[in-house]
Amino acid sequence: MSLGVAGVGAICGDALGLAVARASTLVGLEAHLIRVEVCCTRGPSFFQLVGLAEAAVREARVRVASALARMGILIDEYAITVNLAPADLRKGVAALDVAIAAGLLGAVGALPVAALEGKLLLGELSLDGSLRPVRGVLPMLEGARRQGLRQVVVPSDNAREAGLVQQLDVRVARDLGEVVAHLRGQRQLPEPGRTPFSPSHARAAVDLSEIRGQHAARRALEIAAAGGHNLLFVGAPGSGKTLLARALPSILPPLDYEEALAVTAIHSVAGLIDPARGIVTTRPFRAPHHTVSEAGLVGGGDIPRPGEVSLAHHGVLFLDELAEFRRPTLESLRQPLQDGVVCIARARARAWFPARPLVVGATNPCACGMAGHPRLPCRCSKLRLEAYQARLSGPLLDRLDVHVLVPPVEVAALSAGKPGEDSASVAARVSEARGAQRERRLQGQVSVGCNAELSGSELDRVAPLDAEGQRLLERAVEQLGLSARAWVKARRLARTIADLARERQVRRAHVAEAIQLRLLDRPPAP
């Protein structure tokens, strides 16, 4: 499409041209509307962009100039100033390219300025004028809907993600020429259509039937999945800790629609969305290496991005070789595990990311891994053993609901050839227990979906202990020195165990099993 430089000059003359387009940027998951003001006059050629723009945004000058040149518009003869308001908000994504190009066309008279009113324009430009996909389309569209904008234009590669937003006129475009034709009223851009949602089980690398023996650890895995409880496996190398953790996704229930939207928004900001689907349909499983940084684990950066704990939201965060993680990195998990949210504070802004994964840790009991082994001796000195175990702080361990010892597998269990119970059978029980928790929420008895999140008052309402269970828990507190947090976690575990047993009342047997699942609360053997 060629507009002709002479024609544009005739329209604009030497008078000041001003146009305003609208774009969006993200701080965490919160969308902020950006007012793109473009002032254009004839005069010495220059292009200045103001408004606290990062390097990727400042480079829009090159992309916009090339895309417009392909349409027959040369901006070298104009003095152009682009202001991104509000000026004190950092803009760090290239999604502003299309809005800048449209505002420039409006300023030189190649587009009616009124056509830009009420429209949000998103997209990164290639040098040939085609639109590249951008991150964070879902939260930006939700922000546009709340701001009352009438229409949003997004790149065609973001069509599936854009189709998740209702009550908003969304259009998709392949290149800048289609956007210009749409704004001129020459040709309407197509709508993306509604994106279908079909939840599915995560395809786990391991089925529970492949794990021989380890009945106590399998039971702990089922309880953790049923109630959303964080879990720690402690055992010698080769005992099956990693296999158990990697089988966990196979017994978790599928995502519901609201959970899928929350996970999709986080993954969209991180640029991890599959354009062919546009929505995350399986629970995420994240397993960062123990060399991960604090920013990589909980999020951060000059422009805050979600970390592994947020990318695993509503899924599983597996921390293998937990004691090998750097101490400050692990300690940064304490607040997310307690509050279910990550706050990344910067001088100019704060970013919030949800963080409610099911955390599974695996660690050796000592540096050589043989402490407590029934056949092999431990080679660690007492000082070395204490130093190794001190890598995991008490407050962090207190936030892990279940602590389980994973002993070495007996030879008889390996050679018997009889497989254990498969994941499908366990998943059915987990789904039934989750259904009971969901029913309590729908009835207004609790405000959360999983037992692991129940408050003290909600536990009193839906998980009162019988007299024997109360006495047993009080005795455990006296003998084991349980903290107030551990007391609450034991009650939450007891509620989940009762749900798996299809019982409304939390009984002494449920409390006893819950206490057994708090291995690290017990005093060390003399």
User: What is d(CA 461, CA 523) in angstroms, rounded to the nearest whole number?
Assistant: 32
Asked if residue 105 lies in contact with residue 11, where contact means CB atoms within 8 angstroms, the answer is: no
Instruction: Report whether 463 contacts 473 (CB < 8 A).
Output: no
- Residue 3, pLDDT score: 45
Give phi and psi for 470, each to the nearest 5. -65, -45
Residues whose CB falls within 8 Å of the CB of residue 412, separated by 6 or more in sequence, listed in order: none
CATH architecture of 5-183: 2-Layer Sandwich (3.30)
Q: Is residue 40 helix, strand or coil?
A: strand
How do the pLDDT tens digits run along the chain, 526 residues long? 444 433 444 334 444 589 999 999 999 999 999 999 999 988 788 899 999 888 888 999 999 999 999 999 888 889 999 999 999 888 887 799 999 999 999 999 999 999 999 999 999 999 999 999 999 999 999 999 999 999 999 999 999 999 999 889 999 999 999 999 999 999 999 999 999 998 877 676 788 888 888 889 999 999 999 999 999 999 999 888 999 999 999 999 999 999 999 999 999 999 999 998 999 999 999 999 999 999 999 998 878 899 999 999 999 999 999 999 999 999 999 999 999 999 988 777 789 999 999 999 999 999 998 888 888 889 999 999 889 988 998 889 888 999 999 988 776 666 666 677 899 999 999 999 999 999 999 999 999 989 999 999 999 999 999 899 999 999 988 888 778 888 899 999 999 999 999 999 999 999 999 999 987 765 554 4
In sequence order, what are the beta bridge partners of 286? Answer: 317
Q: Give the dihedral sign, CA 50/54/57/62.
A: positive
The first and second tokens of residue 252, run together, are 């978790």
CB atoms within 10 A of CB 231: 26
**Hey, what are 45's tokens?**
């050629």
> In this structure, are residues 230 and 452 in contact, taking their beta carbons and an 8 Å threshold?
yes
Instruction: Read off the amino acid at residue 442.
Output: L
Q: How far is CA 305 from the centre of its chain?
A: 10
Instruction: Identify the three-state secondary structure at position 25.
Output: strand
Please state the pTM of the whole predicted model. Answer: 0.90
Report which of 265, 98, 86 is spatially closest to residue 180, judged by C-alpha positions: 98
Report how far Cα 140 is from the mean position of its chain's Cα atoms. Answer: 16
Residue 351, helix vs strand vs coil: strand
Fold that domain 208-521 belongs to in CATH: Rossmann fold (3.40.50)
Report the pLDDT value the prediction gives residue 10, as an integer from 0 to 100.
Answer: 37
Cα–Cα distance, 348 to 367 (Å, whole number): 43
Q: How far is Cα 359 from Cα 232, in angstroms, rounded to an integer?
A: 8
97-132 CB burial, b ≥16 within 10 A, e <16:
bbbbbbbbbbbbbbbebebbeebbbbbbbbeebbbe
Structural domain spans, the chain: 5-183, 208-521
| Residue 343: burial class (beta carbons within 10 Å; 0-12, 13-18, 19+) | middle
CA 89 vs CA 52, 80, 144, 271: distances in Å? 7, 21, 17, 22
For residue 97, give the nearest of 153, 141, 46, 147 by alpha carbon: 153
